[in-house]
Amino acid sequence: MKLLSMLKRDMRLFLRDLGPAVLLTCILAVACTFAGMAARSGAERHTEPVKVALIDHEDSILSRISISMVTDQSYVSSLMELEQAEDIDEALSDMSDGKYGAVVELPDGYMEKIMHGQSCRGKIYISDAIGNEGELIEAIADLGSRLLTSGQLGVFAGERVIENAGLPEEVHSQFLDNSNSGLITFALDAYDTVFSFEVLPYGDTGISIQLYYAACWIVMVMFITGLFFPDLYISDCKGSIYSRLKTYGVNRFSFIFGKILYPAIFRILIVLIAIFAAGKIFPDAFASSGSMMHMVLILSAVCIFVSYITGNLAVALSKKGGWAVAVLALSTVFLFMAGGLVPRTMLPEILPKLVLYTPFGSALALVVNALGGSLGGFAGKEYAVSQAVIVCAVYIVMITMFVMKTLSNMPKSDEEVRL
């Protein structure tokens, strides 16, 4: 009965905060969405195609066809965006103004030289603004020439056979025409016909960069929503009220239970709505995330864990104050360490591993698992989930001891009792 009475009291306090909590959660969700998009954009910026001006002094039909075939290759088009330019000085001026990251100049007659195995190199002008990506641009710009020139070794070998066999000149001429024609077609299509490309998971997360940032901000929202229930957490923690509740027979378990239960239900509902909306808006992003039931169960467990941590922390610190600042500050620091504000690849390798041993990191590891990935700390990926569960259990024990000790010392004297 005492537990039921406390649940009713906590329900009234929870409902008092519910309206503002829903509004603030919506605002927080929108803010986190934009923040996550901005952070993800920064992480992906180095993979965006670099604009390159192309000066083709030959401007022959064969040259135009060759350039078009090269730029249409999926691999090349994902790395650089070529724009035809007429004047080299104008192109260089545009590069200085930041319009282009590089300028490629192809000399007159380069196709004829390549087809006859002669050395042929264009000029590459690279802007300092793109840094090491200039090496990539130079390699791509020289790709067609290298493939064709290397392929000419086969043509020369065939010519040697024809010469040694004493075959007529007509055979030699026909061989060169057919070989060069086939070689050009093969070389220009080589990336799309010979090589296959696979997009690997983001870092060591096992999921795409989009899903990883979503996981980071889902956990962040879970922690921050605890700040929206101040009445539920701290109203009963005044010495006079808590002492009176003890007089009525309310024990520490009954006192804290509702303060964990209702925020957990609130978080689970928010997560279910978010999963449903994301599944409708981004069906492809969640296609590799495993079963929906698996995701719901894990995220619900994370909601309960986060509610337990934030609820008990709020109760334990409510008398001294600063519980909201503690939750916000720690969550932000852990979000940074996990790579939710800047790319994981830009952080010291130790930080993303250390954060897994924090409440935020253990919750993040479980969320990543729900989305189809795996975050392994020092224990390795094969034990990632077990490690996260153990870390969660350790923090549950620690926070329970902390809050029980705090409640046992409140109130300290009969003077605080006001019946």
pLDDT surpasses 50 at 395: yes
Query: By the 8 A CB rule, do 419 and 247 touch?
Result: yes
**∠ Cα 313 366 369 (to 5°):** 165
Q: 379 falls in which pLDDT band (50, 70, 90)?
A: low
The pLDDT score that the predictor gives to residue 85 is 85
Element (H, E) at 117: none
Query: By the 8 A CB rule, do 355 and 337 touch?
Result: yes
Question: Domains of the chain: which residue ranges?
Answer: 2-44+202-416, 50-193
pLDDT surpasses 50 at 144: no
Percentage of the chain surpassing pLDDT 90? 11
Q: 394 falls in which pLDDT band (50, 70, 90)?
A: very high
Which span out of 34-43, 50-59, 379-388, 393-402 was modeled with the highest average pLDDT? 393-402
Quote the mean pLDDT of the chain: 74
Q: 416 falls in which pLDDT band (50, 70, 90)?
A: very low
Element (H, E) at 122: none
Closest CA to 74 of 190, 192, 198: 192
The pLDDT score that the predictor gives to residue 135 is 55
Q: 415 falls in which pLDDT band (50, 70, 90)?
A: very low
Mean pLDDT throughout 84-102? 82
Look at 16 and 156; give whichever has higher pLDDT: 16
The pLDDT score that the predictor gives to residue 73 is 57
The pLDDT score that the predictor gives to residue 357 is 92
Residue count of the chain: 419
Percentage of the chain surpassing pLDDT 70? 61
pLDDT surpasses 90 at 275: no
DSSP-assigned states of every residue in 49-96: PEEEEEEESS--HHHHHHHHHHHTSHHHHHHEEEEE-S-HHHHHHHHH
Cβ partners under 8 Å of residue 313, min gap 6 = 323, 326, 327, 399, 402, 403
Q: 75 falls in which pLDDT band (50, 70, 90)?
A: low
Lowest-confidence pick of 92-101, 369-378, 407-416? 407-416
The amino acid sitting at 174 is Q
Supply the pTM of this predicted model. Answer: 0.64
pLDDT surpasses 70 at 190: no
Q: 308 falls in which pLDDT band (50, 70, 90)?
A: very high
Q: 148 falls in which pLDDT band (50, 70, 90)?
A: very low
Which span out of 135-139, 142-146, 331-335 was modeled with the highest average pLDDT? 331-335
Look at 358 and 7; give whichever has higher pLDDT: 358
- The strands making up 80-84's β-sheet, listed across from edge to edge, are 80-84, 50-56, 102-106, 123-126
- What dotted CATH number matches 50-193? 3.40.190
Q: 390 falls in which pLDDT band (50, 70, 90)?
A: very high
Please write the tens of the pLDDT for every residue from 331-363: 999 999 998 888 887 888 888 889 999 999 999
The pLDDT score that the predictor gives to residue 161 is 61
Look at 179 and 83; give whichever has higher pLDDT: 83
